[in-house]
């Protein structure tokens, strides 16, 4: 059933992709002598359409919840403007898909070498014939495997000082909302895209599956950041990451400090936090952000930038300070 729905969506998006390409993109490229980019652009157009649809679905599904059941009430939403821009840039997915296809030839070559030397290849579909070769089952396996790597990737972002300064762009948002999940430093986005594209190719994810995996993961992360009280309950909250669980990760004094450099690192599922003892189930709503954003004497009244460009640029300034030994905020002392 789910496989049929995905197939129908894929056909619909592919039809729209062809129409837009033939009627809009191709004439434009021909007019300005850009036909050398037509094939790559056609492939990227699919991802762009998926991204636009994803943003629309996310907004329609989550924005009313923020209005009806907010965790925090705000009189001013200006702080969210940059996050909206981040979302459009990230959800269009150009970085992710570019790395996936750029790394594909390298992994094809690697797999050829493995075949020559009789090294067994990773084949999730063949783990349990009749079960793991079912589209829904293989999709869930890929989702869980990628989330496991996502947990450790996220912990590394908090553990290593220079890397934290990039990730701090995400944590510096003091007004959590459905737009906050894509608020990241672009260099961090590039590193993350390369990492997960490599992992996906290594475990055998196909291009169509990769698009759906990213889309599902993006939506789930938008839900986690939503400024709304959602009735997950004890059981569901231990199956998938809830807004309250993830909000604890963003809480000042809890989410990025201490001997473990924070808590609740799970990207989609809280299982890894439970397994590696980094879970905090305290539902108390705490202020979000980074400690040195607080006014003196509780913090340093540091600004992480009000707009996208300032937020990107100031991260490099913080990295320079850390390399000179002038900064150790966020619980990271490397």
Helix orientation angle between 243-250 and 207-225, rounded to the nearest 10 degrees: 80
Residue 84: what pLDDT?
95
Q: What length does the chain have?
A: 334
- CA–CA distance, 161 with 295 (Å, rounded to integer): 23
11: pLDDT confidence band, cut at 50, 70 and 90?
Answer: confident
Beta-carbon contacts of 82 under 8 Å, excluding residues fewer than 6 positions away, are 183, 306, 307, 308, 311
- CA–CA distance, 181 with 219 (Å, rounded to integer): 9
- Domain holding 226, by residue range, is 2-331
Using alpha carbons, select from 143, 196, 150, 191 the residue that is nearest to residue 169. Answer: 191
Q: Lowest-pLDDT range, 28-32, 166-170, 243-247?
A: 28-32
pLDDT at 334 exceeding the cut of 50: no
Q: Lowest-pLDDT range, 6-15, 155-164, 181-190, 246-255?
A: 6-15
40-64: average pLDDT: 88
- CA–CA distance, 292 with 18 (Å, rounded to integer): 50
Residue 14: what pLDDT?
86
Q: What is the pLDDT of residues 181-233, one digit of tens each?
A: 999 999 999 899 889 888 888 888 877 788 889 889 999 999 999 999 998 99
Coil vs helix vs strand at 288: strand
Residue 12: what pLDDT?
86
156-179: average pLDDT: 94
120: pLDDT confidence band, cut at 50, 70 and 90?
Answer: low
pTM of the model: 0.86
CA dihedral 216, 202, 86, 32 (to 10 degrees): -110
- CA–CA distance, 188 with 278 (Å, rounded to integer): 23
The total number of structural domains in the chain stands at: 1
């Amino acid at each position: 059933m789910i496989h049929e729905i995905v197939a129908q969506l894929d056909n619909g998006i592919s039809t729209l992709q062809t129409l837009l390409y033939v009627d809009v993109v191709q004439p434009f490229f021909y007019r300005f002598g850009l036909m050398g980019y037509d094939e790559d652009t056609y492939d990227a157009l699919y991802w762009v359409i998926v991204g636009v649809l994803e943003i629309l679905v996310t907004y329609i599904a989550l924005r009313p919840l923020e209005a009806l059941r907010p965790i925090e009430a705000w009189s001013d939403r200006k702080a969210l403007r940059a996050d909206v821009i981040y979302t459009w840039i990230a959800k269009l997915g150009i970085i992710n898909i570019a790395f996936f296809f750029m790394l594909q030839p390298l992994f094809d070559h690697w797999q050829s070498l493995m075949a020559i030397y009789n090294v067994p290849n990773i084949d999730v579909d063949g783990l349990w014939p009749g079960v793991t070769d079912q589209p829904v089952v293989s999709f869930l396996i890929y989702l869980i495997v990628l989330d496991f790597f996502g947990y450790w990737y996220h912990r590394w972002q908090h553990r290593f000082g220079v890397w934290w300064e990039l990730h701090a762009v995400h944590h510096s948002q003091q007004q959590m909302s459905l737009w906050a999940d894509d608020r990241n430093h672009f260099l961090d986005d590039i590193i993350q895209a390369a990492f997960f594209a490599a992992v996906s190719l290594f475990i055998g994810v196909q291009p169509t599956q990769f698009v759906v995996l990213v889309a599902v993961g993006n939506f789930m992360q938008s839900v986690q950041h939503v400024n709304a009280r959602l009735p997950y309950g004890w059981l569901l909250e231990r199956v998938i990451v809830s807004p309250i669980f993830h909000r604890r990760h963003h809480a000042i004094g809890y989410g990025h400090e201490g001997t473990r450099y924070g808590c609740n690192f799970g990207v989609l599922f809280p299982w890894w936090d439970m397994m590696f003892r980094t879970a905090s189930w305290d539902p108390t709503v705490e202020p979000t952000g980074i400690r040195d954003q607080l006014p003196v004497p509780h913090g340093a009244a540091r600004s992480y930038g009000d707009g996208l460009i300032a937020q990107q640029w100031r991260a490099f300034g913080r990295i320079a300070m850390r390399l000179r030994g002038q900064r150790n905020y966020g619980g990271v002392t490397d």
